[in-house]
Amino acid sequence: MTTPAFLALDWGTTNLRAWVVNADGSIGANQDFALGVSKLAPGEPERRFREEVRPALGAEHLPAVLCGMIGSTLGWVEVPYLDCPVGLPELAGALHRVEGATPPAAIVPGLRAQRPHGAGPDVMRGEETQVLGWAASDPEGARGPRLVCHPGTHAKWVLVRDGLIERFVTAMTGELFDVLSKHSVLKSTPGAEDWGAFDEGLEAAGDGGALAARLFTVRSKVVGGAMPAEAARSYLSGLLVGAEVASVPALLDAKAEGPVVLIGDPVLTGLYARALDRLGTAVEVHDGEAAGLAGLKALFGQGGVA
């Protein structure tokens, strides 16, 4: 049976990406919109979606599936988290049909998992669609326990077991880099990546411990004459990413099989691949947009949205 065409959206904090998915699975009209939920007032997402996004893509009559922060307290409607472990069937069964939306629109719930050792819950919204989209696209590759990393402002390290998201932990590395590089004694001017300084930062990260002490070397190396000021930003990036990859996976308290799966933006996955290679860890790199689309297609196909 042919699946109807639909509108797929990844609606995050700072940006909205939308695609028309044709009945044969091919991609039609698609566009980015500067409509991140952090920029919108309460009640505004529904109106902007109806008045701007749908007409721009010629999708006024298509059902829609939306993932990301649009289901948070900042978004269109708050959708409760699902507790892990969760696979595609559970996620599809929990799609939230937005009341009164015509044509129908459904929002993907986020996930909640307990960190090991009584550290409390962790949450994600949006990354689950990419991770499970990767698993749907490569069922054989998702067999057994696999370690998946989704770099970003709040990077996610995910234990996937036989296609189920079992648990995960979040590392605020991207946000730390933004705050420290703009608003601290470590602030620096953006410029071209200095790979030598980045690699020096990876080396300085060590095992990831005592990060607060290691961070001060960004300043001490510059004022002490050991590093030019223009290299500080790349060194800081390497230090933070290196500390994350060296220490955060152990928080999942599990042994995974095969290479680490990196899913996300090519620039960020490239940084993480470089850091993991320094540790002698093999990686598989997958495009986040393609994985997210695969997840939205699979959810629409199973969720009965139309």
Per-residue pLDDT tens for 218-244?
A: 999 999 999 999 999 999 999 999 999
- Distances in Å between the alpha carbon of 161 and those of 138, 147, 148, 166? 13, 9, 10, 6
In whole angstroms, how far apart are CA 264 and each of 128, 283, 287?
12, 13, 5
Q: At a CB cut-off of 8 Å and minimum separation 6, what does 92 contact? A: 298, 299, 302, 303
Two tokens, residue 153: 């402002």
Please tell me whether residue 121 adopts helix, strand or coil conformation. strand
Domain range annotation of the chain: 6-142+290-303
Angle at which helices 173-183 and 232-247 cross, to 10°? 150
Q: What's the topology of domain 6-142+290-303?
A: Nucleotidyltransferase; domain 5 (3.30.420)
State the pLDDT at residue 224.
97
Q: Are 27 and 293 in contact (CB under 8 A)?
A: yes
* Whole-structure pTM value: 0.95
Output the average pLDDT for the chain.
95
| Alpha-carbon distances, residue 305 vs 7, 148, 201, 223 (angstroms) | 11, 29, 48, 59
| CA–CA separation, 215 and 227 (whole Å) | 14
Report CA torsion sign: 261, 132, 73, 118. Answer: negative
pLDDT < 50 stretches in the chain: 1
Model pLDDT, residue 1: 46
Among the listed residues 38, 22, 41, the one whose alpha carbon sits nearest the alpha carbon of residue 30: 22
- Residue 2 is predicted with a pLDDT of 59
Beta partners for residue 32, in sequence order? 17
Strand partners, 33: 16
- 214 Cβ contact list (under 8 Å, min separation 6): 204, 205, 206, 239, 243
Cα of 285 vs its chain's centroid, Å: 14
pLDDT at 132: 98
